[in-house]
A and B are shown apart, each in its own frame.
Chain A
Amino acid sequence: MLASLVGFLGDFDKAEDAAQEAFAIAAERWPASGVPPNPGGWLTTTARNRAIDRIRRERTLAEKIRLLPAPEAVIDEFDDTVIKDERLELIFTCCHPALPLDGQVALTLRALGGLETAEIARAFLVSEETMKRRLSRAKVKIKAAGIPFAVPGAQLLPDRLDAVLAVIYLIYNEGYSGRVDLAAEAIRLGGMLTALMPDEPEAHGLLALMMIHHARRRARFSGEDLVLLGDQDRSLWDHEQIAAGRAELDRAVARGGRGAYVIQAAIASLQTAGSIDWPQVAEMYRRLADLTGSPVVELNRAVAVAQAGDPAAALAAVERLDLDGYLYLHSTRGELLRRLGRHDEARAAYRRALELAASAPERRFLTRRLEEL
């Protein structure tokens, strides 16, 4: 409903005000008169009517005191029963690359996630004032700079869709929750996107990736310590969510998906198998490395190669990487050297990793590895 109001009014704040007025009227009237047969339609119609009244009053006042006229709102006859679903327009507007990224994230959560400003602030560990300003800045820019409320045309769509997917994935990864489960919110938004754009393979890929990853969250930590995939208690996995994620992956592949999210989802899916097909995982990482050129992805490929039974080849790949400041490069080197029986070098690698460790759980993990040598 908010989406169609924003589309109609071209203004977030006016849309929110109108929606609130409509809800207030419903709360007053419905207990006595009963809930109307199409409550959504009633609310939207009422909200639009209130907004139109307000605009008319403002314009009359402006004319009376000879100010510049308020911006035109197109007041046309509309069908009471058909609420145009403009959530897709809203998603692309909130995630427009001309907005600062933190504004895109905040606005998406506020306008599409329906989260309160205070909740969003808590999730990103900032004050409510800061988040209010962030939201306000984004809304002001949309209006002042003329960011259109529209689904981008075919030429712009691929890049713009990438931007939307990136925002949803950021929400999945970056929110530091607490009482707000941003991962679940990201999955909900991902589901909304696949429902609105069912033919887009990467949308299904992203949803698959998030679902399969999220399904393993209860097994991922033991207290504060990270539990490696191989050691995880699989009974703590949400197997229904894994199945749902796999179904999304199938949809992505059926639509020709071969982008970064689809590949990562495929890797996540492979890793939930009873007996992991490591050569296939390595192959997936190779494709991802080709696509992204990321040395961290290449590092993961090397790990898969080692798990598939060739630690020497894995070590060779790792030594080619330029990731000296990355803790996991050294911890991986350490593990590979250990498997090749080169214990002194392994210890040196783990000690280097310890120097880079930034948190107590990381230090505990690496110290244990050192002791096991």
Chain B
Amino acid sequence: MQYALMFYAEPGYAEALPEAERAEVRADFAALVDDPRCVASAQLQPVETATCVRVAGGRTLMTDGPFADTKEVLGGICLIEAANLDEAIELAAHVPTARFGGVVEVRPVVPR
């Protein structure tokens, strides 16, 4: 089964950590990307770089900033292949975001 893992955290949480923990964070993200179960992944640039697009009345409208103006922001995404939800949760629990005050949302992907 495929799941999307979406990482929500306060911007700059990793930069605020001491070097030893920052190295841990980098290593854990690298391990996730290297995991054979990780199908695709992307770290997103900060929300200041985001643009929201809507189409109305035949016109393309855009606004600066992320969809939701929240304290925790979407920082990255990962598509994984897992046997069941428990396996997906186990992978999600190892994402550094989860243990440094953030949240990893785990949602199954609609099969094509």
Q: Does residue A254 face the partner (Cβ distance < 8 Å to B)?
A: no
A98 touches B84 (CB 8 A): no
Q: Does residue A74 face the partner (Cβ distance < 8 Å to B)?
A: no
**Listed stretches B7-15, B39-47, B50-58, B85-93; interface member:** B85-93
Q: Does residue A152 face the partner (Cβ distance < 8 Å to B)?
A: yes
Question: Which applies to chain B's interface (DSSP): helix, strand, loop or mixed?
Answer: mixed
Within 8 A of B (CB), among A139-179: 144-148, 150, 152, 156
CB contacts (< 8 Å) of B83 on chain A: these are 146, 148
Name the CB-closest residue of B to A160. B86
A145 touches B108 (CB 8 A): yes
Count residues of A near B (Cβ-Cβ below 8 Å).
10
Complex Cα–Cα for A150 and B83 (A): 13
Name the CB-closest residue of B to A96. B85
CB contacts (< 8 Å) of A98 on chain B: these are 85, 89
Complex Cα–Cα for A156 and B90 (A): 10
B86 touches A148 (CB 8 A): yes
B108 touches A146 (CB 8 A): yes
Report A246-263 CB contacts with B as 1/0, cut-off 8 Å.
000000000000000000
A152 touches B108 (CB 8 A): no
CB contacts (< 8 Å) of B85 on chain A: these are 96, 98, 145-148
Within 8 A of B (CB), among A96-142: 96, 98
Q: Does residue B1 face the partner (Cβ distance < 8 Å to A)?
A: yes
Name the CB-closest residue of B to A156. B86
- Total A-B pairs in contact (CB under 8 Å)? 26
Interface size class of B (residues with CB under 8 A): 10 to 19
Least Cβ distance of A26 to chain B in Å?
A: 34
A147 touches B108 (CB 8 A): no
CB contacts (< 8 Å) of A145 on chain B: these are 85, 106-108
Least Cβ distance of A308 to chain B in Å?
A: 44
CB contacts (< 8 Å) of A152 on chain B: these are 86
Within 8 A of A (CB), among B80-103: 82-86, 88-89
Name the CB-closest residue of A to B1. A146
Complex Cα–Cα for A41 and B90 (A): 38
A146 touches B89 (CB 8 A): no
Complex Cα–Cα for A156 and B85 (A): 13
Least Cβ distance of B94 to chain A in Å?
A: 13
CB contacts (< 8 Å) of B108 on chain A: these are 144-146
Name the CB-closest residue of A to B107. A145
CB contacts (< 8 Å) of B107 on chain A: these are 145
CB contacts (< 8 Å) of B1 on chain A: these are 146
Complex Cα–Cα for A254 and B64 (A): 65
Name the CB-closest residue of A to B2. A146
Report B62-84 CB contacts with A as 1/0, cut-off 8 Å.
00000000000000000000111
The CB with the most chain B CB atoms within 10 A, among A146, A150, A156, is that of A146
Least Cβ distance of A364 to chain B in Å?
A: 47
Q: 23 A-B residue contacts at CB 8 Å? A: A96-B85, A98-B85, A98-B89, A144-B108, A145-B85, A145-B106, A145-B108, A146-B1, A146-B3, A146-B82, A146-B83, A146-B84, A146-B88, A146-B108, A147-B84, A147-B85, A147-B86, A148-B83, A148-B85, A148-B86, A150-B86, A152-B86, A156-B86
Q: Would you list the 9 A-B pairs with minimal beta carbon distance, nearest first? A: A148-B84, A146-B84, A146-B85, A146-B1, A145-B85, A147-B85, A145-B108, A148-B86, A144-B108
A98-B85, A146-B3, A147-B86 known, 7 other contacts, Cβ within 8 Å: A98-B89, A145-B106, A146-B1, A146-B82, A146-B83, A146-B108, A147-B84
